[in-house]
Amino acid sequence: MIIVLRPDATEEQIRHIKERLEDLGLAIHVSKGKERTVLGAIGDERVLQELPLAAFPGVEKVVPILKPYKLASREFHSEDTVIHINGVPIGGKKIQVIAGPCAVENREMLLYIAKEIKSEGVSFIRGGAFKPRTSPYTFQGLGLEGLKYLAEAREKTGLLVVTELMDPRDIEMVYEYTDVIQIGARNMQNFRLLTEVGSYDKPVILKRGLSATVKEFLMSAEYIMSKGNHSVILCERGIRTFETYTRNTLDLSAVPLLKQLSHLPVIVDPSHGVGKWDLVTPMARAGVAAGADGILVEVHPDPEKALSDGEQSLKLPVFKEMMRQIRAIAQVMGREL
Ligand code: PEP
Ligand code: MN
């Protein structure tokens, strides 16, 4: 339920409404816009049946949120959400690029990539220390050692770190070393994991599940937000279709759709979306053109030797050319990069 307050509603009136709603067991989120304040009441709305909210002083109107996802919905928050991560905004005018290897493989390679992407004006380095591999016999990531290399890369370059959390038992450790927690596609509906990251204050990149609908995707964002963590970045990374030439089918229509349905920032991962390095740049361009707030891309100094996802990783010169191209598209879109 959204309670739109009159422009002249007093602090005292707002406090009174908030208290009455909280007494009924609802969680109240106050959003102060430029013109007026709006209250979002989340919880079992049946308790509101007996409460004549519209009669409360200061209330202009009461609007139900019809979507099953409430906090994530555009109805709840009409303006775009900008998430500030150590001063770096995601969701505003500037498009952010998150680049790095699929997995942290060793210290030298990570520090080298960090230096190279930093020189391209990138603010975020990615790299998995815990890898969700299809086969238990392939490289699973360096774990804590990998997290330490990421932290060292941050220390040396000022880049912010994005890394995946797979298991709630590792959350304290990952929390300590990363600036953004990534929830991978395979865990998009791991509700226990979502609930866990929802109760921490670290921004989350939530990747769309391999066969998740947009509604299911937003319901997963809602899980995180319902626990109090509203810093959720949605990532379209391709879905599974009948097509086999590409690893997945990058659903770029999800970008403007998510922007219509939700106020959360939306980024695009063309690397996992297509699975082939020579299709990554065109889809990164398309992602920016579709209105994405960021591009997450896999980069490797020597993809032939990569321990995972070498076939979709960009060599550094290719990455630099991609940056040049998406910068031009960003300009056309009235964005900065
Ligand atoms: C990744 O970004 O490293 C990754 C494993 O992606 P996804 O969860 O989208 O497959
Ligand atoms: Mn990968």
Chain segment 261-276, per-residue pLDDT in tens: 999 999 999 999 999 9
Q: SS3 for 158?
A: coil
Ligand nearest to the CA of 129: 1
Ligand 1 proximity of 299 Cβ (cutoff 6 Å) = no
Q: Which residue in the block uniquely carries the two structure tokens 């998510």?
A: 258
Overall size of the chain counted in residues: 337
- Could you name the CATH architecture of 83-332? Alpha-Beta Barrel (3.20)
pLDDT for 278-306, tens place per residue?
A: 999 999 999 999 999 999 999 999 999 99
Radius of gyration, alpha carbons of the chain: 21
Beta pairing class for 37-42 and 2-5:
antiparallel
Residue % of the chain over a pLDDT of 90: 89
Compute, in angstroms, the gap from residue 153 CA to the centroid of ligand 2. 19
Protein residue with least CA distance to atom 8, ligand 1 = 184
List Cα–Cα distances, 186 to 113, 139, 199, 209, in angstroms. 26, 17, 20, 6
pLDDT for 64-104, tens place per residue?
A: 888 999 999 999 988 999 999 999 999 999 999 999 999 99
Q: Within a 13 Å sphere around the CA of 277, how many CA atoms are in the beta-carbon half? A: 21
Instruction: Kindly give the number of the ligand 1 atom that is closest to the alpha carbon of 102.
Output: 3
Protein residue with least CA distance to atom 6, ligand 1 = 184
> For the chain, what are the domain ranges?
2-63, 83-332
Write down the pLDDT at residue 87: 95
Q: Is the pLDDT of residue 34 over 80?
A: no
- Could you name the CATH architecture of 2-63? 2-Layer Sandwich (3.30)
